[in-house]
A and B are shown apart, each in its own frame.
Chain A
Amino acid sequence: MTTQIQTRPDTAVRANPARDTWNVLTRELKPVVRDPFTLIFSLVQPLVFLGLFAPLLVGSSGAPVGETLQWFVPGVLVMIVLFGTGATGSNLQYEMMTGSHERTLVAPLARSSLLVGRALKEIAPIVVQAIIIVLIAWPFGFTINVPGLVIGLALLAVFGVGLGSLSYTLALKTKDREWLFWGVQQTLIFPLLILSGMLLPLDEGPAWMRAVATVNPVNWVVQAERALFAGDLGAIEVLWGWLAAVVLAAIGLAVGIRAMRRST
């Protein structure tokens, strides 16, 4: 039997990763657009961080404000991505408690689009946050390199897809045990954060810390972002950063799609 037996003309869709990702992304963004308060608060957070942490850094390092910001702002952006996409699995847990996630699994969507679309939903406000942070840091001596900023944000998006997919996988694996998701997520996120040198430089740290940091992909991404924001587009750190982000995204998607196929 084929589709010819259908009474209606067969207009059934085929999965298309790009279109499906866009549809998942726009669906995820609808509540944000409908209720922009969440977005406004999410914009305030990094500003608070910038306003309260940067002065301490300036105070302890003794370096000029502009120089400190040049070092600190890229790290803050990576941190927002780390927390934002790292938590994306939590939203999924809500959707799994209802039938909403199941509904998307029955829909003819490319499985990858469910991961990528959701991760990009976390990235979209981050792009806005990044631009605001950069503009605010600007009068304090932060220099903006536009191509570096654009490439840097693209790098963050790829990195975010990887992290988001892993967070999504974690949510699938810890289904019905919300506390476990947060337990694992928090246990992983802080070492990744500290060992990336995004808040405090690792140069002064003990040798073992620096050794561990060299295998931390977040550290590579932070270094790439610093080079890009400084306008050093051809730096070897940029290459390593992209490599780390792409590998992470590939692993995240592979693991995530596998987990999704096995979850139900």
Chain B
Amino acid sequence: MAKESIIQAQGLTKRFTVKGKTVEAVTDLAFEVARGELVAFLGPNGAGKSTSLRMLTTLIPPTSGTARVVGFDILKQPAEVRARIGYVGQLTSGSFSQRARDELLSQGAFYGMSKAAARARADELIESLDLAGFATRSVQQLSGGQKRRLDVALGLMHAPPLLFLDEPSTGLDPQSRANLWQHIIDLRARYGTTVFLTTHYLEEADRYAERVMVMDKGRVIADDTAARLKAELAGDVLTFGFADRTDAAAAVAVVQRLTDREVRLVEGTVVVTASGGDALLPAAVRALDAAGLTVQTATGVPPTLDDVFLALTGRTLREAGEGEEEPDEADDKADASAEASGTAAQVAEATGAKR
């Protein structure tokens, strides 16, 4: 391995007993994260993202399996792990009755920083996370975005080499979200921190994470860069419109010659989902012209990670997130909807391959 790894998880599994019923929240998680990476767990609510994070941060012990985090075993040396990681949980980290700056200083003390070092670091973070005007206010008085920035500041106080963020931007308005991300990216550029986060916002994972682990029902079902996941599992959706249906029907064969993927006739238009759509689109238009078929409209829609999730599971992220708190519920449903959905056929193989 070229880069040293900062997280190595092996067979990490967590089962909970809820009302006498055993629920497997995370199943056999195995992955490595290299130092300096920015990795996102993407998945619907109840997919097991937070549970995984809570095991990696020593908050809950795994039912089986283990992990090494920053060089230490989460089961045998939890204190060593804790001293070297930063953690921003889902909820507000600051106590409501405390002042923002006081919490930063207390956090510094918790991590063994001297008073002078803690003060210098707190002021630096207050400055860089735009908390200057609110540092002496109590946490209770801060807005949602300010609270979240304070949470990040608390997680970064001791300059950990590895920062975990559990749904860092949930509940924030789009502007605060973008703003928070800018801070995370700047801080990472400045300190070289490895960032491991969970999110159920696919645009967020798409835009900021260098590596996306797609999680569903307690398992990682795909693990790659967003660009490659989209190219391999989803692809661009190209749609060609024609003056009449006979032209459209004739066009199917012409376009099919240019790609391995299935070209379909959908309501008088020709549709194909393929990777490299930006090159395929002009090529197809030229070939159709040469065949004497006049293309009236041509659109290419690049895929999103939602398409990837749909391709992998047969459900969209939103569908998967609704009413699925327990990971054992939706098995049958998912299969049914996979068959109904158009993309599902090609996708089943991809899913199989990944597993």
Binary contact track B145-169/A, C-beta < 8 Å → 1, others 0: 0000001001000010100000000
Within 8 Å by CB of B98, from A2, A30, A99, A108, lies: A30
Most buried by B among A6, A12, A26: A12
B79's contact among A5, A7, A14, A95, by CB below 8 Å, is which? A14
Nearest to B106 among chain A residues (CB) is A27
Q: Cβ of A237 < 8 Å from any Cβ of B?
A: no
A98 interface residue (CB < 8 Å to B): yes
Select from chain B the residue with minimum beta-carbon distance to A102.
B89
Residue A264 CB within 8 A of the other chain: yes
- Please name the residue on chain B nearest to A4 by beta carbon: B71
Q: Report the bound CA distance from A106 to B151 in whole Å.
A: 13
> Is B93 in contact with A99, judged by CB distance below 8 angstroms?
yes
CB of B87 closer than 8 Å to a CB of A: yes
Residues of A within 8 A of B84 (CB): 6, 10, 12
**B59 — which chain A residues lie within 8 A by C-beta?**
102, 105-106, 264
Could you tell me the distance in whole angstroms from the C-beta of A35 to the nearest C-beta in chain B? Answer: 8
Partner of B71, one of A3, A20, A34: A3
Would B68 and A1 count as touching, CB distance under 8 A? Answer: yes
How long is the Cα–Cα vector from A164 to B106 in the complex, in angstroms? 21
- Which B residues touch A3, using CB under 8 A? 71
Interface size class of A (residues with CB under 8 A): 35 or more
User: For chain B, which range describes its interface: under 10, 10 to 19, 20 to 34, or 35 or more residues?
Assistant: 35 or more
Cβ contact within 8 Å between B192 and A98: no
Bound Cα distance from A214 to B86, whole angstroms: 50
A108-B83 contact, Cβ under 8 Å, with A6-B161, A103-B89: yes
CB distance from B333 to the nearest CB of A (A): 29
Tell me the residues in window 69-101 of chain A with beta carbons closer than 8 Å to chain B beta carbons. Answer: 94-95, 97-100
Given A14-B79, A98-B95, A100-B93, decide whether A106 and B161 contact each other with a Cβ distance below 8 A.
no
- In angstroms, Cα B93 to Cα A10, docked, is 25
Closest CB of chain A to B106's CB: distance in Å?
4
With CB as the reference atom, state the residue of chain A lying closest to B57: A106
**A23 — which chain B residues lie within 8 A by C-beta?**
106, 109-110
**A20→B97 CA distance, assembly (Å):** 20
A31 near B82 with CB under 8 A, answer no
Question: Which of chain B's residues have a CB closer than 8 A to the CB of A14?
Answer: 79, 83
B112 CB-CB contact with A under 8 Å: yes
Contact B91 A102 (CB under 8 A): yes
Contact of B98 with A27 in the complex, beta carbons under 8 Å: yes
| Residues 7-22 of A contacting B (Cβ, < 8 Å) | 7-8, 10-15, 20
**Residue of A7, A98, A105 touching B161 (CB-CB under 8 A):** A7
Partner of A11, one of B70, B80, B87, B112: B112
Q: Complex Cα distance A106/B191, Å?
A: 21
Supposing A30-B106, A31-B98 touch, asked if A99 and B4 sit within 8 A by C-beta, the answer is no
A34 to B60, CA, bound (A): 34
User: With A107-B107, A107-B111 given, is the CB distance from A99 to B151 under 8 Å?
Assistant: yes
Chain A residues packing against B (C-beta within 8 Å):
1-3, 5-8, 10-15, 20, 23, 26-27, 30-31, 34, 94-95, 97-100, 102-109, 264
Q: 8 new A-B pairs (CB below 8 Å) besides A10-B84, A264-B59? A: A1-B4, A7-B192, A12-B112, A15-B79, A100-B94, A102-B93, A106-B58, A107-B111
Give 18 CB contacts A-B under 8 Å. A1-B5, A2-B71, A6-B84, A6-B161, A12-B112, A13-B111, A27-B103, A30-B106, A31-B95, A94-B95, A95-B95, A99-B90, A102-B89, A103-B87, A103-B93, A103-B107, A105-B59, A106-B87
